[in-house]
Amino acid sequence: MLQQVEEISVNINRCVIASNAKTARKKVYLLSLEPALFQMKSNNLGAVRSSRVKMGDLSASWVLENPIDGRHDHPKSFQIETLTGDLLVSANFQMVEDPFQSGMTFEEKTEHPPDDHQAGEGELPYSRLSSMSPVKLKRREMRQERRNLRTAELIGKDKEANNQMAAAAIERSKGFDPIVKGKYSIWRSDYESPNSDSTLKLMLDQIIMAKAYANIAKSKNESDLYNSLMKHSKLSQHAIGEATSDVELHSSALNRAKSMGRVLSIAKDKLYDCLTVERKLRAMLQSTEENVSDLKKKSAFLTQLAAKTVPKPLHCLPLQLASDYFLLGYHSREDVNKEKLQDPSLYHYAIFSDNVLATSVVVNSTVLHAKEPNKHVFHVVTDKLNYAAMRMWFLVNPPVGATIQVENIDDFKWLNSSSCSVLRQLESARLQEYYFKANHPSSLSLGSDHLKYRNPKYLSLLNHLRFYLPDVYPKLDKILFLDDDIVVQKDLTPLWSIDLQGMVNGAVETCKESFHRYDKYLNFSNPIIYANFDPNACGWAFGMNIFDLKEWRKRNITGIYHRWQDMNEDRTLWKLGTLPPGLITFYNLTHPLDRGWHALGLGYDPALNQTAIENAAVIHYNGNYKPWLDLAISKYKAYWSKYVMFDNPYLRLCSISE
């Protein structure tokens, strides 16, 4: 855009100034001089050119005025401004006297900046600067200064944030474990090889394809190819062995994979047919799934068998104890502290078990954490087979300060088939066939859920004795029931001071979201169960229960148990066990205890929270993986074994060790 500046010098007596710029009128400030008119033009490149013009060439819109005080005298300087469109262009002139001539001349004070490309950083090109008023230029400079200040402030903040992040990263790095465990890297997975088991996977896939092609080759009488495929399959399987990653593979594994690849390439060229290979792989998949299902059933059976089988050392222990009990005359000894056995002011425990070692751990761990051991009384009930061994153990190894009573369940003459539903059901020929006849249909066809309930312990009278506590201990008001697969880690005396709020049973609830609710244990397809219980009611656990025996007698809890147990003789209301009838018997009669009192699952769940286990007052090995068996979950076994007296001569004699 061509911008034009006109300079005028005339011999007049008045100065002229342009009116307000907002009115967009062209302004001219002149001094009264000799009639002379100069015109200066600048193009879009910034070049300036001057020429003379006549006064008469000015348009009528020009206004002349003295720039100083409005008088019509001759000032020393003047300014000419013109407004063309949106661009305002100005030039300043100074009048000086010529020493050789009378009159005045003009000295131009406008400076011509260099070309645009020579302008300094942050400056506007001359063509733009020349089109702006000084006010606008000043505002632009101020804006640029503010931008520079803001930029510097943000850069400073970024540096501060980076320093804080670096400091935080250094602090986090101090907590890293520098010990490399096994073959795993302590660093993030980005630094691990993404193909750490690629060779192993390749070889396993090759074996599968080799078997598929071998079957196809056999059906097409390709005997040489069949033999070659089977041979390489065996060699590859031998090279893999028990490896689970590439680092565990034999050094010859890679060569085996290459050889197998060549054979498979030959087989593919001769035998490959998409539909045939697809059918063969589907058949192999179905066969593999059936094998997996069979193996799961066998595993469940063997697990149940191992859980029911008494290990040789545990079988040895009661035999040695029973032998010495009679040979050494311990059978004639009387119980001590008999006056404490029925004192309701003391802390009483009930333990019903036929496992001497497990019972000793329960008693030892409880007494060790008790603040006043002399106020704790343990009532142990066992069967006739283990009575001598159990009594001998606690006569030889009495807990410090505590009182122990060992009883034989067969001595409870009031407990007979006429008063006990379980005993009456055991006389049923149908139940005897279900539990004890060898020609009963194999439970493997029913799966592990049905198999575990065919364990005779679920109809053991010793297991159901918990429903007769007020009859066994008629003079006690409260009693703490403990299973033999628990370990006590804290003092339990505060349990006796808990207000059960009129309830009979104090227990820790086990429901989490939809798990361990009544519908898991009871058959709600049966109209009797459906009409009497809420399927979403929260379940709880046996193993550590505080019972109010006074409230028990008042509500006739044992009578409620008998009624429901008789109704379930055909096992249509629930599967066998003590927890389902317990949930029914104590329905709406159970006070929930804090979860910190009782941590469950150590006998089946290897993923329990370690902190919850260590902080619990009682930990419970409910499940098949009992701590005294080889099946035990190794990381939980130490909580139990530290209360075993491994230096005891009877344990050494039976080779029971850590």
- pLDDT, tens digit, 9 for 90 and up, residues 582-618: 999 999 999 999 999 999 999 999 999 999 999 999 9
* Residue 316 domain flag: yes
C-alpha pair distances (Å), 13 with each of 3, 9, 510: 30, 12, 111
C-alpha span between 276 and 330 (Å, rounded): 78
Side chain identity at residue 391, one-letter code: R
Say yes or no: 534 and 647 in one domain.
Answer: yes
Stretches where the chain sits below pLDDT 70 are 1-132, 158, 172-196, 426-459, 513-515
Q: What is the DSSP letter of 181?
A: P
* Residue 264 domain flag: yes
Residue that is last in its domain, among 266, 291, 308: 308
* Residue 288 domain flag: yes
The per-residue pLDDT for range 190-249, each reduced to its tens digit, is: 444 445 678 888 899 999 999 889 988 888 888 999 999 999 999 998 888 888 888 888
Say yes or no: 232 and 329 in one domain.
Answer: no
Say yes or no: 445 and 357 in one domain.
Answer: yes
User: Which residue has 């009859």 as its token pair?
Assistant: 471
Q: What is the dihedral of CA 628, 547, 364, 640, to 10 degrees?
A: 30
pLDDT of residue 379: 97
User: Which residue has 């009387």 as its token pair?
Assistant: 334
Say yes or no: 328 and 275 in one domain.
Answer: no
pLDDT of residue 249: 85
Cα 592 versus chain centre, distance: 27
* Residue 49 domain flag: no
Check: CB of residue 10 under 8 Å from CB of residue 36.
yes
* Residue 349 domain flag: yes
pLDDT of residue 124: 46
pLDDT of residue 488: 97
Say yes or no: 227 and 297 in one domain.
Answer: yes
Residue that is last in its domain, among 308, 343, 369: 308
The secondary element (H helix, E strand) that includes residue 546 is strand 544-548
Residues 6 or more apart whose CB falls under 8 angstroms from that of 530 comprise 524
Say yes or no: 409 and 282 in one domain.
Answer: no
Q: ∠452-453-457 over CA atoms, to 5°? A: 95
Say yes or no: 400 and 472 in one domain.
Answer: yes
Instruction: Tell which residue, 523, 512, 521, 495, has the closest CA to residue 586.
Output: 521
pLDDT of residue 94: 42
**Where in the sequence is the domain holding 496, given as residue range(s)?**
312-654
Say yes or no: 363 and 340 in one domain.
Answer: yes
CATH number for position 528: 3.90.550.10
The domain total for the chain is 2
* Residue 183 domain flag: no
Say yes or no: 302 and 332 in one domain.
Answer: no
The residue ranges of DSSP E strands in 256-368, in sequence order, are: 347-352
The angle, 0 to 180 degrees and rounded to 10, between the axes of the packed helices 356-369 and 312-327 is 80
pLDDT of residue 275: 85
C-alpha pair distances (Å), 596 with each of 253, 370, 496, 500: 53, 17, 16, 17
Beta bridge partners of 42: 3, 48
Cβ neighbourhood burial of 284 (10 Å; 0-12, 13-18, 19+): middle
Say yes or no: 376 and 300 in one domain.
Answer: no
pLDDT of residue 276: 85
Say yes or no: 507 and 375 in one domain.
Answer: yes
pTM exceeds 0.85 for this model: no
User: Which residue has 């689970």 as its token pair?
Assistant: 244
* Residue 17 domain flag: no
Check: CB of residue 468 under 8 Å from CB of residue 415.
yes
Residue that is last in its domain, among 308, 327, 351: 308
pLDDT of residue 37: 57
C-alpha pair distances (Å), 569 with each of 459, 483, 573: 11, 25, 9
pLDDT of residue 118: 43
* Residue 212 domain flag: yes
Say yes or no: 357 and 299 in one domain.
Answer: no
Return contacts of 385-390, CB within 8 angstroms, 24+ apart: 385/318, 385/354, 386/318, 386/322, 386/354, 386/355, 386/356, 388/321, 388/322, 388/325, 388/326, 388/331, 389/317, 389/318, 389/319, 389/321, 389/322, 389/325, 389/356, 390/318, 390/321, 390/356, 390/359
